[in-house]
Structure 1
Amino acid sequence: MGLIGIFLSLGLLMYLAYRGINVLILAPLLALLATLMAGDLPLLATYTQVFMKALGGYVVLYFPLFLLGAIFGKVMADSGSARVIAEKIVERVGAGQAITAVVLACGVLTYGGVSLFVVAFAIYPIANALFRRADIPKRLLPATIALGSFTFTMTALPGTPAIQNAIPMPFFGTNAFAAPLLGTLAGAIMIAGGILWLNRRAAWAGGEGYGTHPRMAADSSLSDDATLPGFALAIAPVVLVILLNASFTYLVIPNMDTAYLAQPEYGATTISSVAGTWAIIVALLAAILLALALNWSRFTEVKETVNAGTMGSLLPIFNTASEVGYGAVIASLPAFAIIRDAVLGLFPDNPVASLAVAVNVLAGITGSASGGMSIALNALGEQFAQMGQAQGISMELMHRVTALSSGGFDALPHNGAVITLLGICGLTHRQSYADIFVVAVAIPVLATICVILLGSV
């Protein structure tokens, strides 16, 4: 019954989340359902001592990254910087390469720390006008934005400040630049494969053209050119994020005296466990201050921009933290030992492959890259790290494969980002999801397999 309860709970989590019920409600209720079916276990103690403890621990660890990332995204959007960067890239690449231009514009923004949701809203009006002018089917637009926002800059490219690249750091003692060559290779596979697929699909469309679509409110949002910053001012905060992240990771923090971290009041930890997080915090904070300083006169109300970004960080982090709490409860149940042993035994000689399967499956079930990865690492991260160390596997490889695996099955139809993106574009799953699946699920999974094979060799 315990095993049935776990699978029933997981199935309901996936189905009800797809039906639009918030995970803040679903996660504790379904965790307690699995607990109830497990037998004689205390429900209230499980909720307060297991679920809430794991939820709180996740918030403590990652809230600064969610907060600063959301504020930075809002500042870049409200200042017009995100739009300027997108338009300049489109101009340089050329309207004849509309798909490539949109992918690169999204990639630059997300690699620079702008939230994928902010990028989707900022890029859509530009991309839509470009697709209309080039007479490319609009149904390919969501997949094009997804390729630039949900894939290579989220999980593959070294140094990306995306939360999916930060979560593995404390588990493996790594930083945001883990396995740079393999990560870059995976990113190249995603970019090249995705653009090739979308361009082929546009060519195969024959005389379909852009199509007839009702005009969206966002379609007419390109205005007030006189108030926009120049490209140099717009791109400066993005460049600063990348440079400071690398500088603090490799130069500043390693040369700091951090012996005090061994003291109990500072968590009795080591610098390798926190260096990656510290570097991203400093980089994002400095970029926010620079973006505000360079664009101060362009904000209608700076306080409102910062407040909106702050509030925008709360739902994402508590959604993910609730999924972490759910995973902690599942991992505490006696029947989970069967699942754990099955996952760890999938590839007994290759824990990297077992880790990839575990993260992909849980990301698919939860419809969340960060949520699925967090559940997998909180439940099995220590065991995977021990197995990897015992077999002499690089922890950087473990980190990169974990991040890559979170960006595979997460983009199934019930994924919140997919649903939001289709809503922004005014299209349906039937019209556009097949291409989203290819560029955001199939090709990233292929890239992950390539990294596992090369890393194993």
Structure 2
Amino acid sequence: MLGLLGIILSLAGLIYFAYRGYSVLFLAPLMALVAVVFSGVLSAELFGTYTQIFMQGLGRYLIQFFPIFLLGAIFGKVMADSGAAETIARTVVDRLGAARAIAAVVLSCAILTYGGVSLFVVAFAVFPIAVSLFRAADIPRRLIPAAIALGSFTFTMTALPGTPAIQNAIPSAFFGTDTFAAPGLGLIAAAMMLFGGLFWLQRRAAAAKAAGEGYGPAGPTDGELVPERALPSFALAILPIITVIGLNYLLSKVIFPGTDLSFLAEKRFGEVSPSAVTGLWALIGALTAAIALALITQRRYLSDIRTSLNEGTMGSLLPIFNTASEVAYGAVIASLAGFLVVRDAVVGIAPGNPLISLSVAINTLAGITGSASGGLSIALDTLGSTYLERAQAIGISPELLHRVATISSGGFDVLPHNGAVVTLLAITGLTHAKSYLDIFVVAAIIPVIALITVIVLGSTLGTF
């Protein structure tokens, strides 16, 4: 009982101090050790827990997913520095116009994030354009964060088949799937998130107009406009985006399945099955090719390639180590006797349908950690094999598990202490009090409704 109390207190501490802005890099091991102490360990086992469980868990995550974080960060930096991200955003805006300001901002963000550009890069690139659009349309600026959130970390992060987001890559390592798993269900969920979010934001804008509320006073960051500069054409800008999506599909569905990968059974390659790694290989190949293509075709728009590559590389380190630390925290908690009570309670939810239990577990952990990738990784690292066995025993495909797991990670991860939410509000110069409600509706409530729909459809009709 004391061990379970320790787990609860450590989770509470993780939420509280993360919300207060403390780094997860030292917070995660510290809170893990709090749980260990409550379990009755007050000896050299504390050191053993840190080096043999926490650090081993952190290391495993780095080995699996560092290439995706690294390449994604570099690709985003190159697309931002060359002006390609700005070109794509401005082209969408020009086509839709100020009359469709909300849809223009959402779709600009969606194209960029679906193409592999990080949401932080997207927020910086799109925000100045959003300010101009919302001001011209006299839409309250407090709705800008929700519009960026809808386009950046909802359907393009978790639902659209083939999205290179890390949240869509993580289940591949546990279920032997690829990023195009359950494409039909993913598209249905994506449509619900997109149109549901647009409906909400349009209604909010209309209500504000009826109440006489316009754009409002300029914010502290409104004047930080992107300086005029030479930009690549839309064709050049969109080509690397198309490469990521297209090559990812070819590698996942055509090239790797038709390649002799029997060498993976050898001891020096870890004796793994091809399905356990090819999903990640496809993303690595697609992002690498897209980076090379962007560097070649957009060379004249890059002032310093070395700086872009170096800053992109350094920009990948904090996100990967933050997430890996959260996963390592989960590994420590999973090693404690008190976790058996938690595990049995979670797995026991809807025993006839592991999809429900899986979605509850991931949403809960994502909410606690304030991280979609962190919550997803902890859940699958500790319970992934259990869910896979239970699902296969009743005829649920790994592809359906993959899509439900990915969509689940993008629900209650956006609680107020979520790093992306905090950063987005900082970029836009707004506060939780003014803008968080709309973020929560479009990035949590509507995605959860889409998740429930996918679970119902997948449970009754199967995977498609």
Q: Which residue of 2 aligns with 1:342?
A: 345
Give deviations 1:216-244, integer Å, cap 9, x for gaps. Answer: 266322412xx100110010000010000
Q: Map of 1:73-84 to 2, 5 A cutoff?
A: 73-84=76-87
Q: What do the CA deviations read for 1:408-456 (whole angstroms, capped 9, x no partner)? A: 0000111000000001000000000000010000000000000001111
Partner of 1:88: 91
Aligned in 2, Cα 1:5/1:165: closer, same or farther, shift over 3 Å? same
Match of 2:30 in 1: 29
Is 2:159–2:406's contact at 8 Å kept on the other side of the alignment?
A: yes
Alignment of 1:48-67 (within 5 A): 48-67=51-70
How do 1:33-432 and structure 2 match up within 5 A?
A: 33-40=34-41, 42-205=45-208, 206=210, 207-216=212-221, 219-224=224-229, 227-432=230-435
Q: Which runs of 5+ in 1 are unaligned?
A: none
Tell me, yes or no, if the aligned pair for 2:131 and 2:222 is still in contact at 8 Å. no
Distance 2:409 2:253 in 1: 26
Consecutive unaligned residues of structure 2, counting only runs of 5 or more, are none
TM-score scaled by structure 2? Answer: 0.97
Q: Tell me how many residue pairs correspond in the alignment.
A: 455
Q: Summarize deviations over 1:103-133 as a string: whole Å, max 9, x none.
A: 0110000000000111011110111111011
What is the rounded CA distance, in whole Å, between the counterparts of 1:179 and 1:197 in structure 2? 27
- Give the percent of matched residue pairs that are identical in Structure 1 and Structure 2: 62
- AA of the residue aligned to 1:72: F
Distance in 1 of aligned mates of 2:220 and 2:239? 34
Q: Work out the CA distance in 2 between the residues paired with 1:354 and 1:241.
A: 33
What residue is the counterpart of 2:15 in the other structure?
A: 14
Deviations 1:74-127 (A, max 9, x none): 000000000000010111122111101110110000000000111011110111
How much has 1:295 moved relative to structure 2? 1.2
- The alpha carbon displacement at 1:385 in A equals 0.6
Root mean square deviation of aligned Cα = 0.8
Contact 1:125 1:222 in 2 (8 A): no
Deviation string, structure 1 residues 318-338 (Cα, Å, up to 9, x no partner): 000000000000000001000
| CA apart distance, 1:27 | 0.4
Counterpart of 1:167 in 2: which secondary structure? Answer: helix
On the 8 A contact 1:129/1:219 being kept in 2, the answer is no
Whether the 8 Å CA contact 2:128–2:222 is kept in 1: the answer is no
Could you tell me which amino acid in structure 2 is paired with residue 275 of structure 1? Answer: T
Shift of 1:20: 0.2
Moved >4 Å (runs of 4+): none
SS at match of 1:219: coil
| Cα distance in structure 2, aligned partners of 1:361 and 1:296 | 44
